[in-house]
Every structure is written in C-alpha cells, then in structure tokens.
Amino acid sequence: MKTLRIWTVAALWCCTGIAAYGQVASYSTQAITKDLAYFSDWTASALAEGFKSKQLKTFSSPLMRRLAEQLDEGTYQSRYLLNSYKPVASDKVLEKHLKLDNGYSRYENITGVYLEQGENVVLVGDLHGREVGLLIPDWMRQPTPGYKPTQDPEGWGLKKQRIALHEGVNVIYVEKAGNVYVDYFADDPEIAPAVTIHFVTGRVNGYFDAETQTNEDWKHLLDHAVGPVMDVKTRYMQLAYPVEYLKKFRYNEGKELAEAYDKIMLQQYTFNGAVKYGRIPPKRILARVNFNYFMFRDGDVVAFLGNEGTMKSALGPDIYTDWGVNHEIGHVMQMRPQLTWGGMTEVSNNLFTMYVASQAGKPSRLGKSKNYEKAFANVLDAAQKPFIMCVSDPFEKLVPFWQLYLYAKRKGYADFYADLMEHMRNHPDKGRGNASINNMYEFAKVSCDLLKTDLTDFFEAWGFFVTGKFEIGDYSHYTFNVTPEMVEETKRYIAGKNYPKPAEDVTRLTD
Ligand SMILES: [Zn+2]
C-alpha cells in the first residue's frame, strides 16, 4: 500500500490518441457563432425571443439547427448537458482548514457528461475573468502492453487531457472519450461566480448524488451508463469506479455505498479534530479505480485495483472496516511534516486506520498480529535500543503512538489526537526534510502538555532519545542528526512543567 511521494506529472494524452479517419464529425466555429443569434445567449440555453420555426432552415450549423429544433419542440434534455458550475474550494482553502496541502479531488466538479473522441462543441457563458477548463481523465487506462502492470513505463498515475475554455464557442478536440469534469477551483469559493457550460455534443452518463437521489435513480444510472465509469458524489467523497463492478457489488445499494465511505470520513475527521473544531473542508477526497497496483495514494488521491478481489474491498459490504481503504484515506489525512516527519509515512496514517477499526469494534490489528510483543522485544527489551525511526516494521513503530491514544482514553481523554493535531494546525512546523525530525521532539513535548503527564521515561524506553546520525528511507531519503542537545532540550522542557509521571507503565499498554 504505497504512497507515491513524487507525484507523476500527468502527461497529457497529446499525440497518443489514434485518429479515427472517416466518419468524424467536424464543426465550424464560425457557423456556430453565427447561429447563436437565434438563441437567447452564448450558451444557447434557450431560443431567442420571438423565434419562429421557419427560421430553422436559415441555420448555418446542422448541430445548432438540431438543438434549436429540440428546444422549439420542448424535447431537449438539458439536465446534465447545460449547467452552471460553482468553483470547488482550492487547496489554499484546504490548507486553511486542515493544514493539508493536497490530496483532495481534482475532478470534483462532476458534469455527468461523456464526450466522444474527436471534435466536440462546448458553449461557455461569462467567465468573469476566471480560469476554467475541462478535464477528461482516463479512469480505465490499462497498463502498457509488454510490461508488468507494476512496472508500467507510464507509471501508475492517472492520465488526463486538460482543455482550456474561453467564453463563447469552443470547438474542442477530445483525444480519448470519457467522463468530463469542470476544472474550476477558487480561493474564494463562496463569492466566486458560477459559470455556465453547455456540452452540445455531449452524451449523458449521469452521476449519482447520494445525498439527494434514491437507489432507484442509482439503478437507472447504472443501467443507462454510456461510459465504463460512473461518478458518485457523497457528502465527503467522490468515487469513480467501473459500472461493471458497481453493478456486481452494489447494484441495489448506491446510497449504502456512499454512506460507508462517509462513515470512514466522519470517523477520520473526528480523530483529527476536524469535527470538534469545525474544520471539515468544503472539498471531497477521490477514490478511483486503477489497473497498475493493488492500492495506493498519489496526487490523484486513493486508487484501488480494478480486479474482482480489490473491487470487493472498495465496493463490498465491509468498506467501513476495510483496513486498506482506511489506510489509504489515512494517507490523505496524515499531517506532514508535523505528524509525518521522515520515517512516519506508513505510521501516522495508521493511527487513523486503528481508530476507525476500534470504533467499528474490530479487534486491534496490533494485538492480533502480535506487533506489541515484537515491538517490546525489538525496542523496549532490546540489548541495544534502536532509534525509534530506525525500527523497520511500520506496525512496531506505530505501537508507542497508539499507546498514547490508549493511555489518553483511559484517562477519559479520547480527543487527545484531535487536540494534538489542532495544536499543530495552530503552530508552525519545526522543520522539513532532514530537519523534519525536530517535529518528533515537538510531538513529545505537546503530548506531555496535553496529557499533563511527564512521559520522559516512556519516550526514553521507546528509543525517541537515542542520539546519533541516522539514515532513514521513507519514500524520500532522510539523514537525521539527533544531538544530545536536542534530547536534553526536550527533557528539560518536559521536566520544567512538573507534570506527574504516569500512574501505570504506558510502555506496556496493549489492546
Ligand atoms: Zn500506505
């Protein structure tokens, strides 16, 4: 379950599309522009006042004539094809809410429209000086033939075409057919204007808005999808999974599918204090299919392999308690570098995973997999104590961090990590890269402050205070130089608070 720390720059589909010679629709911008005179506005949302049916024969563009005919007859189905789109809150807004700098969906402005490969006509109203485009991701991209999927020279990432839009008539060339999304983000989403977009040549795939639609709507959508992928909008997430697997695992349960993901999100937002401190961002995390690797998190958020077994994890009845799904979403939620200094990438996200599992009444993974015993042997009782970030097994490394939660809970303080992360959101980090280890000592201090306990012995026992020069591989490479001064400063800070020592041995706490 990997995290791609270096985001693959999504190469455009430029030049890879195979031109379909022959029956290709072609549109004249000039002819369409001329015909706009018969409509009430640039987006051709209605016919001009006083329009007469006999004017149909004077049209220059067959496409616009067909549209006018349908509008005249009252048969035009504009529900998905013609809409106004408000911007999605930018990552700057996300930063303000949760101090996370990426990881939410880039495709949140779902249209429900499917565009065929080749020329398409998109009419755009006033943009008010905003930058607006279209995104057509290749959700179903298959690995490059001749390579193992995990060794795909194209990488595992999502490929997409981005098309910039301008006001008026846009004759665009779609490299590869697919669901289209409006690329419109703003730092001021509450006051930024909506933009009207009309996909005149679009086909309706639709999308499921789980908060407003029913399971009957859901089944209808799956049965009438024109593309291979159905979009789902839940309260906190966006899903892009193959219609085939949605039918197989959730044909009758679109709402339940959405609710399972939202339940995970709400628990994770509870754990990090977003609920307590009113910080849930007005943005969604994306879960999508991929065909390269089991499960991972990258710049296009969390991806699950499009095979029977993994799709069952991502869509089946046990999503809420699925370790992998929670783990990948945890990768989006883990604060970096304040709770994710070098060595913590596969650790701090599992605090979220452990939390949801415990809330769901699942047995502790650390207990079940004997990670406590192993960590006790390899760290607490080791002849030569390792530096905690040098413990190679991420589950063993997780033990002391989870023990602090268990200790807090026993003290009736289940909000410990919520408050800790709120503190981090309100204070600057203590360094990045090779200096990121300073965040660990800050973590130790703030933990003592919040728990009002002198945990010096606890951190000592767990190897937080081992000094030396350490090389840590954690997707990136880190060289940590932990000096006696750093450790002394931390211990002095804690001692200065005169907190009592814990009443029990926290290092041996298990669940
Ligand atoms: Zn992972």
Distance 364 CA to ligand 1 centre (A): 18
Distance CA 507, CA 118 (A): 63
Looking at residue 8, its pLDDT comes to 36
67 membership: H or E segment, kind and range: helix 62-73
Distance 345 CA to ligand 1 centre (A): 7
Per-residue pLDDT 10s for the chain (511 aa) are: 555 444 333 333 333 223 344 457 899 999 999 999 999 999 999 999 999 999 999 999 999 999 999 999 999 999 999 999 999 999 999 999 999 989 999 999 999 999 999 999 999 999 999 999 999 999 999 999 999 999 999 999 999 999 999 999 999 999 999 999 999 999 999 999 999 999 999 999 999 999 999 999 999 999 999 999 999 999 999 999 999 999 999 999 999 999 999 999 999 999 999 999 999 999 999 999 999 999 999 999 899 999 999 999 999 999 999 999 999 999 999 999 999 999 999 999 999 999 999 999 999 999 999 999 999 999 999 999 999 999 999 999 999 999 999 999 999 999 999 999 999 999 999 999 999 999 999 999 999 999 999 999 999 999 999 999 999 999 999 999 999 999 999 999 999 999 999 999 999 999 9
Distance CA 136, CA 124 (A): 17
- Detail the DSSP E strand segments found in 48-177: 82-85, 88-89, 109-115, 118-124, 133-137, 160-164, 168-174
Q: Tell me the pTM.
A: 0.93
Contact 104, 91 (CB under 8 A): yes
Write out the two tokens for 71: 């509008």
Distance CA 410, CA 425 (A): 25
* SS3 label, residue 13: coil
Q: Dihedral of CA 231/237/241/243: which sign?
A: negative
- How many CB atoms sit inside 10 A of residue 18's CB? 8
Contact 411, 316 (CB under 8 A): no
Write out the two tokens for 483: 């000096």
Distance 451 CA to ligand 1 centre (A): 28
Distance 328 CA to ligand 1 centre (A): 6
Angle of the 323-333 helix axis to the 308-315 helix axis, nearest 10: 70
Distance CA 258, CA 260 (A): 5
Distance CA 342, CA 438 (A): 10
* Amino acid occupying residue 422: E
Write out the two tokens for 48: 């001009």
CA distances from 151 to 17, 22, 159, 398 (A): 22, 36, 16, 30
Distance 63 CA to ligand 1 centre (A): 49
Distance 254 CA to ligand 1 centre (A): 27
Distance 323 CA to ligand 1 centre (A): 10
Distance 346 CA to ligand 1 centre (A): 5
Nearest to 184 by CA among 162, 169, 206: 162
- How many CB atoms sit inside 10 A of residue 156's CB? 20
Distance 349 CA to ligand 1 centre (A): 8
Write out the two tokens for 63: 């496409």
Write out the two tokens for 222: 């799956």
Distance CA 114, CA 203 (A): 5
481 membership: H or E segment, kind and range: strand 476-482
Distance 2 CA to ligand 1 centre (A): 5
Name, in order, each residue with C-beta under 8 angstroms of 394's C-beta and a sequence gap of 6 or more. 346, 347, 350
Contact 105, 197 (CB under 8 A): no
Distance 433 CA to ligand 1 centre (A): 19
Looking at residue 25, its pLDDT comes to 83
Distance 330 CA to ligand 1 centre (A): 8
Distance 288 CA to ligand 1 centre (A): 16
Distance CA 139, CA 357 (A): 30
Buried/exposed code over 159-170 (b: 16+ C-beta within 10 A; e: otherwise): bbbebebeebbb
Distance 183 CA to ligand 1 centre (A): 28
Strand 203-204, strand 109-115: pairing: antiparallel
Distance 271 CA to ligand 1 centre (A): 18
202 membership: H or E segment, kind and range: none
